[in-house]
Amino acid sequence: MAQINPPAPSDSQRRTCQVSPSILSADFARLAEEAEAVRGADWLHVDVMDNHFVPNLTLGVPVVESLARATRTPLDCHLMIEQPDRWAPQYVEAGAGSVTFHAEAAAAPVRLAREIRAKGARASMALRPATPIEQYEDLLPELDMILIMTVEPGFGGQAFLDIMLSKIRRTRELISKHGLDLWLQVDGGVSADTIERCAEAGADVFVAGSAVYGAADPAEAVRSLRAQAEAATVGAPWACAH
């Protein structure tokens, strides 16, 4: 299937802090309009759930294909599914600009990340709250983004787990220690109340579902969250590098 969705922004084009609104909090009967409602967002976060890896079921490849045709915002697909080794490449073919698989579900994360990159998308790996970052230190150069979950995956609208802040900090330290150009995404309970703490701890890509789609003006909520994160990271070494 031809990729109609535009390619992911190059590192020189990207902003210091990026916001990726999650359509999990949008109206699934009006996805094209809901994508349009957050025009100006850096990414559109698409939560794929299979009712096995998480106790919830959302959407799959055909919906991602249609969404990629319906919006010019690059798609950031977060796969909360078993057997990502088998399915993730199909999401690249469907038009995703970034594909995130879970470390806990991948059988061969290095091979999978290489396959995602070879097919033309950014490769990203997610960690559930109980999964430590340290055991993945050697894999980080294989990735374009690491996702630190700040809730147990499965549902939107959950409370932010501030016990994850130290993991975000340790992840940023590992990225700096190895001199990597690796994005650090946070997902779950990110809002005007929590985004600054995430940014100060070292996150630079922020997923927000209810904080964006629950707002009266979702596009304005994206801009406001991004401005808050940027203000919180002025002077941070990773923010100044770009």
Per-position x/- string for 178-207, each x denoting binding to Zn ion as judged by CB under 5 A, each - no binding: ---------x--------------------
Residues 6+ apart with CB under 8 A from 179: none
Instruction: List the one residue out of 174, 121, 118, 116 whose CA is nearest residue 148.
Output: 174
Which listed option, ligand DX5, Zn ion, none, makes contact with residue 60 (CB within 5 to 8 Å by class)?
A: none
Which listed option, Zn ion, ligand DX5, none, makes contact with residue 142 (CB within 5 to 8 Å by class)?
A: none
Return the residue nearest Zn ion (CB atom): 78
Which listed option, ligand DX5, Zn ion, none, makes contact with residue 225 (CB within 5 to 8 Å by class)?
A: none
Nearer to ligand DX5, 129 or 180 (CB): 129
Return the residue nearest ligand DX5 (CB atom): 209
Positions that interact with ligand DX5 (CB under 6 A): 22, 24-25, 45, 47, 78, 151, 153-158, 187-190, 207-211
Catalytic residue among 42, 47, 76, 204: 47
How is residue 107 written in tokens? 């059988």
Residue 120 counted as an annotated binding residue? no
- Contact region for Zn ion (CB under 5 A) — 65-73, 78-86, 196-204, 214-222? 78-86
One DSSP character per residue, the chain reads ----SPPPPPTTTS-SSEEEEBGGGS-GGGHHHHHHTTTT-S-EEEEEEBSSSSS-B---HHHHHHHHHH-SSPEEEEEE-S-HHHHHHHHHHTT-SEEEEETTT-SSHHHHHHHHHHTTSEEEEEE-TTS-SGGGGGGGGG-SEEEEESS-TT-SSPPP-GGGHHHHHHHHHHHHHTT---EEEEESS-STTTHHHHHHHT--EEEESHHHHTSSSHHHHHHHHHHHHHHHHTT-HHHHT-
Catalytic residue among 42, 50, 144, 187: 187
Nearer to Zn ion, 5 or 185 (CB): 185
Which listed option, ligand DX5, Zn ion, none, makes contact with residue 202 (CB within 5 to 8 Å by class)?
A: none
How far apart (Å, rounded) are the C-alpha atoms in residues 159 and 223? 22
Nearer to ligand DX5, 89 or 154 (CB): 154
Write the Ramachandran bin of 163: left for phi over 0, alpha for psi from -120 to 50, otherwise beta: alpha
Q: CB of residue 193 vs ligand DX5: minimum separation in angstroms?
A: 12
Q: Is there a catalytic annotation at residue 187?
A: yes
Residue 65 engages Zn ion in binding (rule: CB under 5 A): no
**Residue ranges at the known binding site for substrate:** 22, 78, 154-157, 187-189, 209-210
Active-site residue set: 47, 187
**Residue ranges at the known binding site for a divalent metal cation:** 45, 47, 78, 187
Point out which residues bind Zn ion (CB under 5 A): 47, 78, 187
